[in-house]
């Protein structure tokens, strides 16, 4: 590799971030310049090195952010400056991505390059629509053809007389605007007008839409449906298999847009489950976890840790901060000795277990009332209890413990404050009710959500969007804020919330 820099031509795949390659992700994470196209999604871009220079060079039909010659020159310029350049392209860079031209230009300018293939939309998009491009009972051949060739070219580079009848499945990329010309050319060159054809819009993404027909009627169907690019076009008998094999649209959350209001560092679990079930998780964090600046009370507790009979953890955040600061104090789990540990909820319990700690008590009901009931016959009067938790949490837990006769040291580790980095696009969509569900996983997510959107917009949301809460405490907070609560999880966990939404559908 030359010290002056290096260029990677990376295929970003067809849209679903799960189809982005591991090698592409690794290179994107260490690149110092990322030059990316229009169809590269935000989730893939989030894998980039946060310090990298991000340069958009996207192309839409008839509109180019940057001409190809300037893109070529930009890659070379950045590489000569010593940068690791990630040229990120939708699909595969060598399939109608002009990757070959870019590679030639890099080599001609004395630089080295590497290509990282991407999953091509020509195969992946039909697969997500339930259309295999080959099938033993239908065809053993397929071709990928540009749909972008201009009908008025004096000499076509496509041999219509050969492909129309000589190949089973025809996949056209970038062909929506030329669909009438494509259908006419196939029919004029011997393809049966009743041949099945499907257009797949934004395949592999939550916005996927499929329109099926025949060569004879698909143009009229596209006009009537106002079907827009980008789309992959598939023609051939394999299209008929979609009725049997379609799988994405059968997922329970298919077509649903679901707002996730958890903090950024905790949203991934809920978002992943929503996406896995076919929905679109729209992350709109309303809270940010802010650690207390002064943790002297926690360090005082560490000095006297052996005097405590119990430590009660009420959240994953409390566990994370507690043990990070324990390490900072040059201590570890061995210093906890014989202290009993209680946790509210399986996520908190699992976090403790991963640290090698046995949790003595986990209530069946994952809220303060549950832990109080579980500890009623376990905590003895005069025992010391350490309660590391969030500022602003309900007082029922420490009050109840004191009523049992325990000495409670309530230590505040963090506060859930309003998120300041807000997406205006998503905010406007929420205000206009362009969502199907809003999920709340704590009272603080509700309170700060209302602060962000304004209470005057709550009624409009009630009329168009369903509200799902992780448990009764969160639901009560939502009702107090003016929301009509449609769903309350019976089990106060992320999976319980998911199950409750599915049961309501």
363 vs 174, higher pLDDT: 174
User: In the chain, what's the furthest Cα-to-Cα distance?
Assistant: 94
End-to-end C-alpha distance for the chain, whole angstroms:
55
238-276 per-position pLDDT tens digit? 999 999 999 999 999 998 999 999 888 777 889 999 999
3-class SS of residue 166? helix
Are 355 and 333 in contact by the 8 Å Cβ rule? The answer is: yes
Q: Which domains are seen in the chain, by residue range?
A: 6-119 (3.40.1010.10), 123-250 (3.30.950.10), 257-286+419-504 (3.40.50.10090), 290-418 (3.40.50.10090)
Is residue 174 among the annotated active site residues? yes
Asked about 37 being catalytic, the answer comes back as yes
Confidence of residue 2 (pLDDT cuts 50, 70, 90): very low
Banded model confidence at residue 377, pLDDT cuts 50, 70, 90:
confident
Contact 13, 21 (CB under 8 A): yes
Residues in the chain, how many? 505
Q: Residue 231's closest CA among 93, 90, 121, 94?
A: 121
Q: Which residue in the list 25, 54, 59, 221 is annotated as catalytic?
A: 59
Q: What is the pLDDT of residue 154?
A: 65
Q: Indicate the pTM of the whole model.
A: 0.81
* CA 133 to each of CA 169, 234, 235: distance values in angstroms, whole numbers, following the listed order: 6, 8, 9
d(CA 377, CA 216): 77
Point out the catalytic residue in the list 75, 174, 256, 436: 174
Which of 226-230, 291-295, 419-423 shows the lowest per-residue confidence on average (mean pLDDT)? 419-423
What pLDDT is stored for residue 375 in this prediction? 87
Is residue 119 pLDDT above 50, yes or no? yes
| Helical residues (DSSP H) of 304-423, grouped into ranges | 316-328, 346-354, 368-375, 396-403
Q: What is the pLDDT of residues 430-488, one digit of tens each?
A: 998 889 999 999 999 999 999 999 999 999 999 999 999 999 999 999 999 999 999 99
Q: Is the dihedral of CA 283, 350, 412, 324 positive or negative?
A: negative
Q: Which residues of 106-135 are buried (b: 16+ CB within 10 A; e: fewer)?
A: beeeebebebbbbbbbbbbbbbbbbbbbeb
Q: Is the pLDDT of residue 45 over 90?
A: yes
Task: Please state, for a pLDDT cut of 90, what percent of the chain lies above it.
Answer: 79
User: Quick one: pLDDT at residue 253?
Assistant: 95
Among 450, 440, 449, which residue's Cα sits nearest to residue 497? 440
């Amino acid at each position: 590799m030359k010290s002056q820099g290096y260029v990677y031509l990376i295929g970003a795949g067809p849209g679903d971030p799960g189809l982005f390659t591991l090698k592409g992700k690794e290179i994107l994470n260490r690149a110092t310049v990322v030059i990316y196209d229009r169809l590269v999604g935000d989730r893939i871009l989030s894998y980039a090195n946060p310090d990298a220079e991000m340069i958009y060079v996207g192309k839409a039909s008839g509109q180019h952010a940057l001409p190809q010659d300037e893109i070529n020159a930009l890659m070379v310029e950045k590489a000569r400056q010593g940068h690791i350049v990630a040229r990120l392209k939708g699909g595969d860079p060598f399939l109608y991505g002009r990757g070959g031209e870019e590679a030639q230009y890099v080599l001609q300018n004395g630089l080295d390059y590497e290509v990282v293939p991407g999953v091509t939309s020509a195969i992946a998009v039909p697969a997500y629509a339930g259309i295999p491009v080959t099938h033993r009972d239908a065809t053993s051949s397929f071709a990928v053809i540009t749909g972008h060739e201009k009908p008025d070219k004096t000499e076509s580079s496509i041999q219509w007389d050969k492909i129309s009848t000589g190949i089973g499945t025809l996949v056209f990329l970038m062909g929506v605007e030329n669909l009438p010309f494509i259908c006419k050319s196939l029919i004029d060159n011997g393809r049966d007008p009743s041949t099945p054809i499907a257009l797949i819009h934004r395949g592999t993404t939550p916005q996927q839409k499929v329109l099926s027909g025949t060569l004879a009627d698909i143009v009229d169907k596209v006009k009537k449906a106002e079907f827009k690019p980008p789309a992959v076009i598939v023609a051939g008998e394999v299209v008929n298999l979609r009725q049997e094999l379609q799988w994405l649209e059968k997922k329970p959350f298919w077509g649903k847009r679901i707002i996730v209001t958890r903090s950024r560092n905790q949203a991934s679990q809920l978002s992943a489950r929503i996406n896995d079930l076919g929905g679109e998780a729209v992350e709109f964090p309303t809270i940010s976890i802010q650690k207390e600046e002064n943790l002297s009370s926690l360090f005082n507790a560490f000095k006297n840790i052996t005097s405590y009979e119990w430590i009660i953890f009420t959240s994953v955040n409390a566990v994370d901060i507690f043990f990070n600061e324990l390490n900072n104090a040059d201590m570890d789990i061995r210093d906890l000795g014989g202290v009993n540990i209680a946790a509210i909820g399986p996520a908190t319990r699992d976090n403790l277990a991963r640290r090698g700690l046995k949790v003595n008590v986990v209530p069946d009901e994952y809220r303060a009332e549950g832990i109080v009931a579980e500890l009623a016959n376990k905590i003895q009067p005069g025992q010391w209890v350490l309660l590391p938790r969030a500022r602003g949490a309900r007082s029922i837990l420490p009050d109840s413990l004191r009523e049992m006769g325990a000495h409670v040291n309530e230590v505040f580790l963090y506060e859930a404050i309003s998120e300041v980095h807000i997406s205006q696009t998503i905010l406007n969509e929420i205000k206009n009710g362009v969502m199907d569900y809003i999920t709340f996983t704590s009272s603080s997510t509700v309170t700060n959500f209302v602060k962000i959107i304004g209470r005057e917009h709550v009624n409009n949301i009630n009329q168009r969007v369903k509200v799902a809460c992780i448990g009764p405490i969160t639901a009560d907070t939502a009702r107090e804020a003016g929301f009509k609560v449609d769903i309350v999880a019976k089990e106060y966990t992320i999976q319980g919330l998911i199950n409750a939404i599915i049961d309501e559908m």
